[in-house]
Amino acid sequence: MNVRTVLEQLGYSPHETSVYLAALELGGATVTDIAAKAKLPRTTVNLVIHSLQKRGLMNAYLKRRRKIFTAENPERLMAALNESQEALKSVLPELHALRRDIGTQSTVRMYHGASEIKQILNDLLESKHHVSAILSYDDWMDLLGKAYLEDFTELRYRHYLRMRLLVPKTKNAAALKSKDSQELRVTQFLPELVAVTNANFIYANKVAIITLNKKKPVGILIEDEDIHHTMEILFETLWRQSGGS
């Protein structure tokens, strides 16, 4: 990753990055010199220098009646980043309070097609919560593909997210269960009388229900405390009724 990319990721605009790097290389220069080095209009450089001065990254002094600008030591970038982090830490309690307020509102989102349904799995990973799932593994594999599900399992493992999984007993499901100890998963087989033709995920404060019709797959992601609680109760009931053999 190059210097310019890193500076822009830290929140500096492309023009700010160009001007700062030009001034840093020149050591001490006029606006005209910096503009030539940065290959930007002089008027633009004037505005950018003002912005960088406010951010503590540029200084100015007079030399023979000419205004000379110098870039601050690059260590100032780290200091500015630390200051931003400290400022963010000071307001984190307020931000968390706001998030809890928002969390009390129920939301329902629809996802159509396999590519959109994968967004639900991305949300599951980002939630950083362990997950309980009930699904028809063969149909699930047909919808998303074995390679994709293996990649998802690897990402889940890296996030250290445990999964309890209830599936109908099939050859593919048995092969999956044999890898439980390697993949942070406990798989149990549903009673034969329990027919499952979709996929259900219970995690964080959410419930995802996904139809596994390959022609028109649809996913519904519900964020609601009561629905989540009810689904947890149903899952625990089935979990107790199911066995690992």
**What DSSP assignment string belongs to 219-234?**
EEEEE-HHHHHHHHHH
pLDDT tens column, 47-60 = 999 999 988 888 88
Residue matched to tokens 């964020």: 223
Share of the chain above pLDDT 70, in %: 96
Query: Per the domain annotation, does 85 fall within a domain?
Result: no
User: In this structure, are 45 and 114 located in the same domain?
Assistant: no
Query: Per the domain annotation, does 78 fall within a domain?
Result: no
Long-range CB contacts (within 8 A, 24+) of 226-229: 227/106, 228/202, 228/204
Dihedral pair phi/psi, residue 72, rounded to 5°: -65, 160
In terms of residue numbers, what domain contains 23?
Answer: 3-72
CATH number at residue 115: 3.30.870.10
Query: Per the domain annotation, does 101 fall within a domain?
Result: no
Query: Per the domain annotation, does 83 fall within a domain?
Result: no
Separation of alpha carbons 152 and 158, rounded Å: 10
Query: Per the domain annotation, does 166 fall within a domain?
Result: yes
Separation of alpha carbons 177 and 193, rounded Å: 20
Identify the helix (H) or strand (E) that includes residue 196. Answer: none
- Would you state the pLDDT for residue 3? 85
Query: Per the domain annotation, does 100 fall within a domain?
Result: no
pLDDT tens column, 157-216 = 988 999 999 999 999 999 999 999 999 999 999 988 888 889 999 999 999 999 988 788
Is 201 within 8 Å of 124 (Cβ atoms)? Answer: yes
Residue matched to tokens 């109908």: 168
Query: Per the domain annotation, does 79 fall within a domain?
Result: no
Is 131 within 8 Å of 241 (Cβ atoms)? Answer: no
Residue matched to tokens 């998030």: 99
- Would you state the pLDDT for residue 244? 46
Q: Where are the beta strands (DSSP E) in 18-104?
A: 58-63, 66-71
Instruction: Determine if the pTM surpasses 0.85.
Output: no
Q: Please report which confidence band the pLDDT of residue 99 belongs to, taking 50, 70 and 90 as the band edges.
A: low
Separation of alpha carbons 241 and 245, rounded Å: 12
